[in-house]
Amino acid sequence: MRVYGATRGKHIPRSKARLTAELLLRLGGQSISRQDNLPIDAELLIQWGGTVTPALMGAYKRRVPFIILNSGYFDATRGRRFSISINGFHGISMYVDGLLDRPARAHPKIKPWRKDGEFVLILGQKPPIYEILGLQMEPWLRRTAQRAAEAFRRPALIRPHPFLPGLRQRSLQAVLEDGIYAAVTLSSNASVATTLAGVRTLALHPTCPAQAVSIGGWESVDDDPPSNREAWVQSLAQREFDEFARVELDKAAAFIEEVYPAAQEHANAGQIYVKGVK
């Protein structure tokens, strides 16, 4: 397979460019700039983050499979571990038969689902996420908070990201200890932490890493919470690898090679997603 990776450009941190380059080396790929179009012979694209680059847009339009590298899913390892998503979808195991038969690489603690709580938490995201989806951040947060308060019959608390100037900065874990019953987000990685903490979470966008264990919708807030968290955690764990461990990079490259045939099949069938692109 002919692999290309975006390793050059002013908007990619040096450490992330090195990470992408290391994977390209293992996959026999070639480097391009984040400003370059996708080469005509490309069969797979790898890039850091979900920014809609010319190459990513080309992959989407031509239905070329793509790999997005990003921060890890679990708070305790986010600084040194990184995640792999396939064709724009996070944490799904649809591509590899028997994926969950392997030992997970991480074993985060899963707390029981909460049966009560005083508040519902609205998880904000960086402004560009809203912009590429045709939304305005502040109106969306206000509307969502109002709807969440009505649906869950509890006051809604908004947690912006990044923090606004002058606001007290508390960790998500500290906030979750303050009587949080449920959470609502578009696609924030913070949904992983809320779900592990036993906070039922409503994911409103298909690329949310907690989509597989999300509440079914606004009309389902009183239903029993999902029962498949253990399998979901294993699926996420299989998408993480350590930047600094050579054996982990080898595993990441092997994982990409393994999922490629099915990723190509799904891309050809239109099961490919780029935020904000229709």
Rounded distance, CA 254 to CA 197, Å? 32
Token pair 């992983």 in the structure block, residue: 192
One domain for residues 155 and 124: yes
Please tell me the total count of domains within the chain: 2
Regarding whether 254 and 212 lie in a shared domain, the answer is: no
| pLDDT surpasses 80 at 94 | no
pLDDT tens string 22-53: 999 999 999 999 999 999 999 999 999 888 89
Residues 84 and 139 in one domain: no
Q: Tell me: do 126 and 178 sit in the same domain.
A: yes
> Does some domain include residue 95?
yes
Question: Angle formed by the axes of helices 14-27 and 246-268, to 10°?
Answer: 70
| Helix or strand (DSSP H, E) at 248 | helix 246-268
User: Among residues of the chain, what percentage have pLDDT more than 70?
Assistant: 90
Q: 141 and 98, same structural domain?
A: no
| Identity of the residue numbered 22 | E
| Domain CATH number, residue 168 | 3.40.50
User: Which residues are bridge partners to 66 per DSSP?
Assistant: 45
Spatial strand order of the sheet with 3-8 comes to 30-33, 3-8, 44-48, 66-71, 81-86, 240-242
Confidence tier at 104 by pLDDT (50, 70, 90): low
The answer as to whether 31 is a domain residue is yes
Whether residue 111 is predicted with pLDDT greater than 60 in this model: the reply is yes
Residue type, 36: D
Q: Is 28 left (phi over 0), alpha (psi -120 to 50) or beta?
A: left
Could you tell me if residue 109 is inside a domain?
no
Q: By the 8 A CB rule, do 195 and 208 touch? A: no
The domain containing residue 154 runs over which residues? Answer: 119-224
- Within-domain flag for 276: no
Return the H-helix or E-strand segment holding 127: helix 127-132
Q: Are residues 24 and 96 in the same domain?
A: yes
Asked if the peptide bond before residue 160 counts as cis, ω within 30 degrees of 0, the response is: no
Residue 127 covered by a domain:
yes
pLDDT at 180: 95
Omega of the bond leading into 162 within 30 degrees of 0 (cis): yes
Residues 11 and 53 in one domain: yes
CA distance 38 to 174: 43
Q: Identify the residue whose tokens are 């998408």.
A: 239
Per the structure block, which two tokens stand in for 73? 């899913």
Q: Indicate whether 215 belongs to any domain.
A: yes
Q: Is residue 81 part of a domain?
A: yes
Report yes or no on 146 lying in a domain: yes
Q: What is the pLDDT of residues 2-11, one digit of tens each?
A: 999 999 877 7
Rounded-to-integer distance, Cα 71 and Cα 56, Å: 19
Q: How far apart are CA 92 and CA 212, in angstroms?
A: 8
User: Which pLDDT value is given to residue 9?
Assistant: 78
Most confident option among 45-54, 123-132, 238-247: 45-54
pLDDT of residue 103: 57
- Does the pLDDT at position 135 exceed 80? yes
Q: Are residues 211 and 182 in the same domain?
A: yes
Work out the mean pLDDT of the chain and round it to a whole number.
87
